[in-house]
Amino acid sequence: MEGSSSSSKHFILVHGLCHGAWCWYKVVTMLRSEGHRVTALDLAASGVHPARIDEVHSFEEYSQPLLDAVAEAPAGERLILVGHSFGGLSIALAMERFPEKIAVAVFVAAAVPCVGKHIGIIPELIREKAPKDMLLDSKMIPINNKQGPGTAILLGPNFLAENGYPLSPAEAMN
**134-174 residue pLDDT tens:** 888 988 888 776 667 777 778 888 988 898 888 888 887 77
> Does residue 67 belong to any structural domain of this protein?
yes
Rounded CA gap, 59 and 62, in Å? Answer: 5
- Domain limits for position 55: 5-169
19-61: pLDDT as tens digits: 999 999 999 999 999 999 999 999 999 999 989 887 888 889 9
Rounded CA gap, 62 and 43, in Å? Answer: 6
What residues are paired with 11 via a beta bridge?
38, 80
Q: How many domains does the chain have?
A: 1
**CA-CA distances (angstroms) from residue 5 to 8, 47, 70?**
5, 30, 20
pTM: 0.84
> Does residue 140 belong to any structural domain of this protein?
yes
**CA-CA distances (angstroms) from residue 150 to 20, 116, 120, 141?**
21, 18, 7, 8
What residues are paired with 13 via a beta bridge?
40, 82
> Does residue 174 belong to any structural domain of this protein?
no
